[in-house]
Every structure is written in C-alpha cells, then in structure tokens.
Structure 1
C-alpha cells in the first residue's frame, strides 16, 4: 500500500485506502483539468514524474505499490471538499491544498521526504 493513501483514508471512516486510491485515480482520469486557469493533469504529471504518457501514469497509479503525491492530494481535496495541509518536516513549512468551492473540513498530514503520516482533523 501507499503511505499517502493510508494517511488520508484515515479521515474517511467508510473508505479503505485501496478504495480511495481507485476513487482518486478515476477522478484524475475523468477530470483532466484540475484547477484554474485550466492546468492540465497531464502537464503536472509530465513536470513532476517525467512520465510523458498520461494513460501510462494512470495505469501505474492504479497499482497498490505506486506512491501518491501532490497531484493525488489535489484530487482528494477537490473530491472531498477538504483543505489538506501538508507539514514538510525537512523545512518545517506547510503546503496547503484548497478545494474550489466550500471547504467541509481541514486535515493535516506530515511528509518526511519519503513517507506520509496522518496528522489531525480540524473541524
């Protein structure tokens, strides 16, 4: 499993990390434009992972051993209307993912450079 999906699924009591992975990847596959001003998911994939073939990236992300990252956090934020605050341990700074529209909850997760762990739920 992936520590990112394990960490954020902690905040969704009725969804397993594997189910969450499939929900996010399905969303990513069917919503190629993720944010204003029309940033394409395929462009983000190309810049972040050097994967030039978006369908291949989707295929890789469906595998339980593939790590998730910022793109998947962005999708989670949009899907579940949650602000996600990621605490980067190395530089002691926060990165924030804010959904468009209403925010239902805010969650925090921690990133040590190679591993995500759940933080807390902020109502």
Structure 2
C-alpha cells in the first residue's frame, strides 16, 4: 500500500487506496477527487527539486515511476489555453491578466545584501536601503546579551570580536545572521542556493507560521517575491509555512539560474585583500589569510 501526501496551493491531503500496481488513471482520479483539479489539466511533481511526472500513458502502473510510500506529490493546474472569437468590428479585446509568478528582486551588492534582503521580505516588500546598520546593531545586541549561546565555538571568534566585526559595513552576513534574524522575526527564512539547487530552512522546526524566501548565488543574496506582471498590485513576500508549492517554485528558479551558471563557486573565485593587496583564491585562502594577518577586508577580482 502506498501512503502519499498530495499538496496543492490550497492545502494538503492524505492519499489512500493506491499501490504500486495502481494505474496512472487511478492516481489522477484520486487527485481529482481530493483537489478538484480535472485529470486532463493536472501537473504532478515529485522529489526535491520537484520534477514533473510524464503521466500521458494512463494505463501504466505507478511502479514504473519514481514514487515511493511517504512521498509528497505536488499538484498544480496546467494553464489552459482559451480561444476567443473576436468580432471583426471590435478593435480592442478584453485585457487578460497574467498569473502571479515568483521572481527575484535585485538589491545592491554593497556588502549588506543579506540584511537588505531580509528586511525587504519580512516588511512585506518595503525596500529600505538604510536598514543595514540597524540590523547589524540588532544582531550585535542579541549576540552580546547571550555569550553562552553565542560562544567562540559557534561564532568562530570571541563574542566581543564578533560584535565588533558584524557592525562593520564591509562585513558580509551569512548563516549565523540568518538564524538570528529568523528567531527575532519569528518566521522561517528559506535560502535557495543556485549552485546546489538546495533550500536551507532556518527556523524550520520552531513552529513558525510565516515563511520568507531568499536566493543565494554563492556571494550575493536577493529577496524572492510573488508578483503579477503588468499589474500595480504590491508584491507578496510573506507566505505560509504550509505552502510547499512556493518552495518548489523557488527551487525551479534556482535550477534555471544554475543552468545559466548564475552562481559563484566560492571555492574558486578570485579575491584580493584590500588591506595588503594579496591575491587569493576562494573562501579557504581568505580565511587562512585573515587568521594569519588579521586582515578581513576582501574584494572580488
């Protein structure tokens, strides 16, 4: 017996009564029964990143597909092409609105892209280019007030050194800062990596109800938002933590960026120490140089 979960943008359903011997038609009929999406316009995806199943052969058995018990099937309704008869006397037809899409909102690469991006999504799409000093100060306050939780073992430097370091406007944020901001804003922050096509979910097990999304290319963060092309409607940046379809769409964006090689290999990219002008390659050499010299100001060549 297969125990599957069917997820749509409107909720989640447990699918019962199917086995590996069941046909594709039985699966599609069960999906229609649970979701109301007709069989002929179903798009069924499985796995992470989600990939569409070719279910055109309705007599095929589920054993022929990469579906196993416990899997979550993500179901969307395919866009149906609509034809319309236009009277020759009519010169202007009705305007058809485009469906909302998930898109990247580019922010400046000014060493504070993480802070700008987090501020943008948690504030519901409000761009504040001056938010970084305040957010750096907030992180400093949280870290300095709890030296037991934020020890040298966690931070990679002493609590005091970290607080001095993170306040600087040429310091990049990363996983530690995302984790702190997730707790402060009481929301799950999902970071989608364009090199690995992986999503890291900060605050995943904390029981938060809100989710925001960032996309990361190895050195730069941008916020993700759902927007309607050609519309003046404000973008959506805050989603429910039960909305796995938005995660699937974010991973599709990341996979498209990977195919276009829109990422930086942090193990191979060229850097220069802006203090002594030494040439370096990758994060490892930069960390070793910083440890040996105390220099921590690097620029990409």
TM-score, reference length from structure 2: 0.34
Which runs of no fewer than 5 residues in structure 1 stay unpaired? 35-39
Work out the CA distance in 2 between the residues paired with 1:60 and 1:108: 26
Counterpart of 1:89 in structure 2 is: 194
Counterpart of 1:116 in structure 2 is: 221
Local SS of the residue matching 1:32: coil
* Cα RMSD after superposing both structures: 2.3
Work out the CA distance in 1 between the residues paired with 2:138 and 2:222: 20
- Residue 41 of structure 1: how far off its partner (Å): 4.2
Choose the corresponding residue for 2:144, options 29, 44, 47. Answer: 29
User: Where do 4+ consecutive residues of structure 1 move more than 4 Å?
Assistant: 99-102
Q: Give the paired residue count.
A: 113
- Residue 60 of structure 1: how far off its partner (Å): 0.8
Work out the CA distance in 1 between the residues paired with 2:151 and 2:178: 12
Q: Does 1:4 align with 2:114?
A: yes
Structure whose CA Rg is larger? 2
Indicate if the aligned counterparts of 1:81 and 1:102 stay in contact, CA closer than 8 A: no
Distance 1:100 1:19, change over 3 A: farther
Indicate if the aligned counterparts of 1:78 and 1:99 stay in contact, CA closer than 8 A: no
- Residue 86 of structure 1: how far off its partner (Å): 0.4
Choose the corresponding residue for 1:76, options 176, 181, 194. Answer: 181
Local SS of the residue matching 2:115: helix
Which runs of no fewer than 5 residues in structure 2 stay unpaired? 1-109, 226-237, 241-301
Work out the CA distance in 2 between the residues paired with 1:41 and 1:96: 23
Greater share of helix: 1
Distance 1:119 1:33, change over 3 A: farther
Work out the CA distance in 1 between the residues paired with 2:223 and 2:193: 12
Counterpart of 2:211 in structure 1 is: 106
Q: Greater RCO between the two (CA within 8 Å, min separation 6)?
A: 1
- Residue 32 of structure 1: how far off its partner (Å): 3.3
- Residue 14 of structure 1: how far off its partner (Å): 9.5
Distance 1:33 1:81, change over 3 A: farther
Work out the CA distance in 2 between the residues paired with 1:33 and 1:82: 23
Counterpart of 1:37 in structure 2 is: none
Work out the CA distance in 1 between the residues paired with 2:206 and 2:135: 21
Q: Does 1:58 align with 2:163?
A: yes
Local SS of the residue matching 1:5: helix
Work out the CA distance in 2 between the residues paired with 1:33 and 1:70: 19
